[in-house]
Every structure is written in C-alpha cells, then in structure tokens.
Structure 1
Amino acid sequence: MNLKRSSALLGVLAAAGALTLSACGSDNNTSSNGAAKIDVACGGKSSLKSSGSTAQKNAMDLFVAAYQTNCSGAKLDYTGSGSGAGVNEFIGNQTDFAGSDSPLDAKKGETDKAAARCGSPAWNLPMVFGPIAVAYNIDGITDLVLDPPTIAKIFSGEITMWNDTAIKALNTNKADKLPNEKIGVIYRSDESGTTDNFQKYLTAAGGYTKGAGKTFNGGVGEGVKGSDGMAAAVQGTKNTITYVEWSFAQAQKLSSVHVLTTATSNDPKPVELTAESAGKAVDAAKVAGEGNDMVLDNSSIYKPTAGGAYPIMLATYEIVCSKYSDADTAKAVKAFLTSAVGNGQSGLAAAGYVPLPDAFKTKLTTAINAIQ
C-alpha cells in the first residue's frame, strides 16, 4: 500500500490545511441551501472567527449560508484545522468559539483553561450529529458485516487479513469473495475528536484495550491528515479500511460496514448506516452535563437498547463562552448559533448529517439564549 502515489490523496492534502468558510452579506431571502430566512437578533461583531473540527466542515457550509441569509453583512471565517487545534486556538483567545468532536477535557486542564480565557465557564453545545462510517474498499463487496470485537481487532492489528476466519464467520454468504489480502488500516494522523469517539466506541462495545484520546493508539496502519484525506486514501487504495464521518464517505462513494450490534436484544441484525438508523441513535442520546453545558453520555449511543440504531455516532460541539468579555461578540455568536439550529438545519441530511431532534433544538436554544 503506497498512499503517496495516490493522486486523489495528494490533491486533498494540498487543500486540507486551509478550509475556510465565509458568509458575506446578502439581500436574498433564501440561503444557498434553499432555507428560507428566519427572524434572528442580528448585530454585534460584524466578523466572527472560529476553527476546529473538519468533521463539521460540510455542516458549517450550511450554517454559514443560513447566517448570511438571516443577518445581512455578517461574516464568519471557519478554519477546519482539527479539533485539537480548534480547542487550543479558542483557549488562546485566537477565535470566538471552537468546533470540536469531543467536549473539553477536564483531565487535560482544558475546562479550566477555557474558563480562564472566557472569564466564565465554557459550554459544550452539541450542534452537529454525524455517523462515523467504518468505510472500506474491497472489490465486489458492498455489504460487509462486522461486529464490534472484530472491528476492534482490525484497528489494533490483531486481525490482519481480509479472509480471516472471524470476518468469514460474519459474512458466510460472501466468504469466498473475501480476498486473501492484508487489511490496509488508514487512521487519522493529526489529533481528532473523530479518533477519540471511534476509540471510545471500540473500548465500550468491542473490548479495545489501546485506550481513547484524540491520537490513534491502535499501533497499526498508515496515518493520513484530515477527514478528506482519509476518505480519499481509501477510495484510491484497494483493500483498505478507515473510520471517517459519513459525509466524507458519501463524497467518495465508499461502502460502509453493516455493524452487528449484539448488545441490541430487540434486533440483533446488522445495522446498515442510513439516515434512519443514525436518527434512531440521536433520538436515544442522553445529556450527562449540567445546566447549559450539554456534554453527552456517549454510552447511550455506543450501546443502543433500541433496534436498528447505528451505534458509531459523532457529536460535534461548538465550545463557547457562557459570558463573553465583549457584548458585541456575544450577540454575534448567538445570532450565528440561532441560525445554525434554525434554517441552518435545512440540507443536513443530504450532506451526511442527522438533523437535530426537536428536544435537542429546545435545549440548545435555551443554552444559546443564555449566552451573555
């Protein structure tokens, strides 16, 4: 496997470092995603700056378009630098809010550092829900079934061949099609909340012993920077597998694993990743944080108790100050976030995300309104 020779990958990596989204004023009554204008308390700072998660990049396109429609002359520059960089830049007061695939980590001091930067507690607001696809490239197979322990063993190097007996046992109707080829694991080389969430899932559901965190700990495979890069690498390289946000897997037309959720007693059938199965997981998600700090209880997603719920789900947070030192910044941030949960939801499903359930919209709107 030689990823460096993949022209598709090289093209992606050349652009991955500078993902910038901007919203400029417009007199149109609909956004570029076709969403009608809604009433928003616009005003405040005319130009916002944010950075972080590449997983939410495509959703941010829609949010920015909605913000542009609602607030003439408003601007937001969002740089998809990765969750780790986004949190660091927010803590360093370089941005107005951060995008992250994981909430602030108190053990790493992020919670205290963010509070010091804000002069008030920082809140984690889960604004974007997107499934993490276990995407692969095997000739002739588009419906591969894997269970959590087998996925964990692949990403920790314990299972190395596509025709391993464990994989064949889960795919008896296509066992003879599984190639006698080495599994090429592709992992995220830069710090990423997607990696953190995926490893947490493997630990909770698959017995993965390598630990979680924003750095991949599996000790196998080849690292690639950014979600775009990972998806392009698998698309361009046979017999590879990766974990990547569904929107990027869709963009590269990759096949995704059907996950056998054995913990789901009501329906032990393999769950195909669809908008419906992802929506069931979001509906079951529970909030573990207190008040307006809406940190999620991931175990409610990773080990679903309802049939047909896809268990590998990523919640992308916007990390904001509960009280900004500058009232103009607070007003603009609130206007953007209000747009995001409002007409910004239009088109999310087509982009590979799960639109916010009504219950979450209500909770998020309460938190957004409370920002000072």
Structure 2
Amino acid sequence: MSIHRFISSASLVTALLLTQGCGSGGSENFVKLQGAGASFPAPLYNKWFKAYSNSHDDVQIDYQSVGSGQGVKSVIDRTVDFGASDAAMKPDEMASVDGGVQLLPMTAGSVVLAYNLEGVDELKLSREAYVNIFLGKITKWNDPAIVATNEGVELPDQPINVVVRSDSSGTTYVFTKHLAEINSEFSESVGVEKAPNWPVGTKSKGNEGVTASINTTPGSIGYIEFGYAVGAKLAMASLENKAGSFIKPSIESAQAAMASVAMPEDLIAWMPDPEGDDAYPIVTYTWIICYKTYPNAETVQALKDVLTYCLTEGQKSSEQLGYIPLPETVVEQVQAALDSITVSAPASAT
C-alpha cells in the first residue's frame, strides 16, 4: 500500500469515527458538547475547551460566540447542551425550561470604555461624561465635561464616534445596568436591556465586532470586555467610581469591585455600582447555563468533568486573557451546584 493510500484510508476511518461519535445518540467512547452564547468570555472559554479536548480525545466541545441573548434562546429551544450569558437568566426564562436550569458563574471581567484618539494615551471620564456620551448629549472630544477631568491633555475638536452592540448582548446588559444605576435619565429613557434602543452609535456585532470597529475608526469609543481591549492594544479610559476616584481597568481594580458583593445561594450576583475607593465601576460575573437534568449519563459526566477543569486548572489561565479568577469561596459554591446536575429518569412504560 502506498503512503498516500494509507493516509487516505486512515483519514476516512477517523472521519467515520467522528461522525459516529457526533451522532444524536453519541457513543460510549465519544461525547460532543455543543454550547453557545456570550462573546464576553469567549476567548477564555475557547482556551479552556481546546485545552481540555486536547487532553481528552473522547470529548469534543464546540462553543459558538453568538451573544448572550442567543445563548439564552438556545437553552430555551434546547438546541445546545449548555448556554452562556453575562445577563444570567430572568425568572420567566428559567421557568420556561422544563426540568429547570442551573446557572454557574465561571469567571468575571470588566466592561471597559476603549477608545481610538490619536495622541491621547490617558483619558479620565467622569460619570456625567460617559453617561452623556452614550445618551448622545456629549458629541465632541473637547466637550467641557471631558476637558474638566483631563487637565494638560490636548483633546481634539473632533466628533465622538460611539460604537454599540447590534446583537442581543450580555455585555450591553451589564453596561446599561451600570448606567441606569448611576443616572436616572438613562434609566428612564434607555433602561437595562440586552438590545436597547440606543439614542446614538454605530452598531457592531459581538465584542469582536465592537473591538474591530474601535480599532479601525479614529475618534471612536465603545464598550467591550477588558481582555478584548488588552488583546487589541486599545487605550482604555479611567472611569469615576462611586467613591469619586478615577480608576483604571485592571485585574486588581476588578477584584476590589468583586469584594463588595457576596455570592447568594442562586449564584446570581450583581455589582452595578460597587463600593470601595479602588473598585473599578463596571464588573460582572458571567454564567454557563446547564440543564438540571440530561437524558444520558455520558453527557452529564463529560459536562461535569469539563466544568470542574474550568473551575480548577482553568482558573490559572484567567488573568492571562484579562479575566478575574473566581474567589475560592465562589468556586466551592459552584462545584456544589455542579454536583446537583443529574441524569433524567426514564419515562414510565405505558
């Protein structure tokens, strides 16, 4: 047999095995887990899932970064094995899933205001300034509200190009939750939404799309997850926090924000305007959404093993990509909740 025929035959056998393993019934030796949802944690999730699959050839995890809204919809429609959302799930959404869901915080991160402004390496934005930029009331970079907190900085007489999300987004939900918390006009006119009716802004899909738009459009500003800004080497504004301090986004300032809130029993914790002199003001947990029960033991075991890896070994790589490792007490709570996921009882014979 020639080497080319051998390679071709081996490839065919591999393809057949993968096809059998990815079928609806699965196999004893291969499990494919399908997930979809938030773009906010996607770089970290993809790193975790790739690392796990590389060391476990009997498990494949496919995660699609489609936005939190679509992730929740996919869970409700039962087109995935797990979803992911920065907006958690609302009680009515949870109630619509037969058998129930289990939300598991897996990491945390900051929502930053990244900008593209030549010659401006440091920028401080007051609460008044950044709310009014996204309300469309501040339209120039040399607006007095921005100048007032940036003494000595040469701010151009240039229009502000605001970039917002086009899709149903947990990052948007977290950002609007913060803006609504600190400004009554924003709360009443825009509100807390995954896909609000923004009064201003060009739209891009996903954290990936907003990052690309900021990177390629001079004079722009937009909200993205911290790790995306770091990866694209975008400048990030220091934001005024509840204590009146201007805080740069960092792992440390995010951890200071997380210290202000305890994780409740349902594992859904919010910090829309955290306390603390050193706390960065826009920080959130992000959740993987599992079903309470699954139809077969192989899926349950694979899912638990993957997520246990993410909660333990995986946390060590969080900071490298701009995410905040979960506090040990939270890891313990999440692991206990993970244990509650079971195999559904077979239907009774009729």
TM-score tier by shorter-chain length is 0.7 to 0.9
Shift of 1:234: 0.6
Other-structure match for 2:255:
279
Shift of 1:211: 0.4
The code of the aligned residue for 1:286 comes to A
SS at match of 1:172: coil
> What is the distance in 1 between the residues matched to 2:113 and 2:42?
19
> What is the distance in 2 between the residues matched to 1:188 and 1:216?
9
Report the TM-score when normalising by structure 2: 0.85
> What is the distance in 2 between the residues matched to 1:192 and 1:161?
27
Other-structure match for 1:154:
133
Whether contact under 8 Å (2:30, 2:58) holds in the other structure is no
Whether contact under 8 Å (1:45, 1:329) holds in the other structure is no
- Specify which of 180, 192, 198 is matched with residue 218 of structure 1: 198
The code of the aligned residue for 1:236 comes to T
Is 1:332 matched up with 2:315? Answer: no
Whether contact under 8 Å (1:162, 1:179) holds in the other structure is yes
Residues 358-369 of structure 1 aligned to structure 2 (within 5 Å)? 358-369=328-339
Other-structure match for 1:190:
167
SS at match of 1:316: strand
SS at match of 2:293: coil
Deviations 1:78-121 (A, max 9, x none): 11111111111111111111011111122xx311122x2xx2x2
Shift of 1:252: 1.3
Other-structure match for 1:38:
none
Give the direction of change, closer, same or farther, for the CA distance of 1:249–1:49 in structure 2 (3 Å limit): same
> What is the distance in 2 between the residues matched to 1:162 and 1:303?
25
- Specify which of 121, 125, 129 is matched with residue 108 of structure 2: 129
Whether contact under 8 Å (2:263, 2:330) holds in the other structure is no
> What is the distance in 2 between the residues matched to 1:286 and 1:126?
13
Give the direction of change, closer, same or farther, for the CA distance of 1:44–1:336 in structure 2 (3 Å limit): farther
Report the TM-score when normalising by structure 1: 0.80
The code of the aligned residue for 1:182 comes to P
> What is the distance in 1 between the residues matched to 2:178 and 2:137?
17
Give the direction of change, closer, same or farther, for the CA distance of 1:44–1:333 in structure 2 (3 Å limit): farther
Shift of 1:144: 0.7
Shift of 1:182: 1.0
Other-structure match for 1:64:
49
- Specify which of 266, 279, 290 is matched with residue 309 of structure 1: 279
Is 1:166 matched up with 2:145? Answer: yes
Whether contact under 8 Å (1:149, 1:202) holds in the other structure is no
Shift of 1:71: 3.6
Give the direction of change, closer, same or farther, for the CA distance of 1:65–1:285 in structure 2 (3 Å limit): farther
Other-structure match for 1:85:
70
CA-based RMSD: 1.8
- Specify which of 28, 32, 42 is matched with residue 47 of structure 1: 32
- Specify which of 190, 199, 223 is matched with residue 176 of structure 2: 199
- Tell me whether 319-328 or 65-74 shows the greater mean CA deviation: 65-74
SS at match of 1:286: coil
Shift of 1:69: 5.5
Other-structure match for 1:295:
268
- Tell me whether 243-252 or 303-312 shows the greater mean CA deviation: 303-312
Whether contact under 8 Å (1:62, 1:345) holds in the other structure is no
Shift of 1:61: 2.1
Whether contact under 8 Å (1:44, 1:330) holds in the other structure is no
Give the direction of change, closer, same or farther, for the CA distance of 1:91–1:247 in structure 2 (3 Å limit): same
- Tell me whether 312-321 or 194-203 shows the greater mean CA deviation: 312-321
Deviations 1:139-177 (A, max 9, x none): 111211112232111001011111111111111232xx1
Whether contact under 8 Å (2:38, 2:85) holds in the other structure is yes
Mark the runs of 5 or more structure 2 residues left unpaired by the alignment.
Answer: 1-17, 19-27, 343-350
The code of the aligned residue for 2:95 comes to D
Tell me which of the two structures has the higher relative contact order, counting C-alpha pairs closer than 8 angstroms and 6 or more residues apart: 1
Whether contact under 8 Å (2:107, 2:285) holds in the other structure is yes
Mark the runs of 5 or more structure 1 residues left unpaired by the alignment.
Answer: 1-24, 26-42
The code of the aligned residue for 1:92 comes to D
Whether contact under 8 Å (1:84, 1:214) holds in the other structure is yes
- Specify which of 80, 84, 98 is matched with residue 95 of structure 1: 80
- Specify which of 234, 239, 244 is matched with residue 259 of structure 1: 239
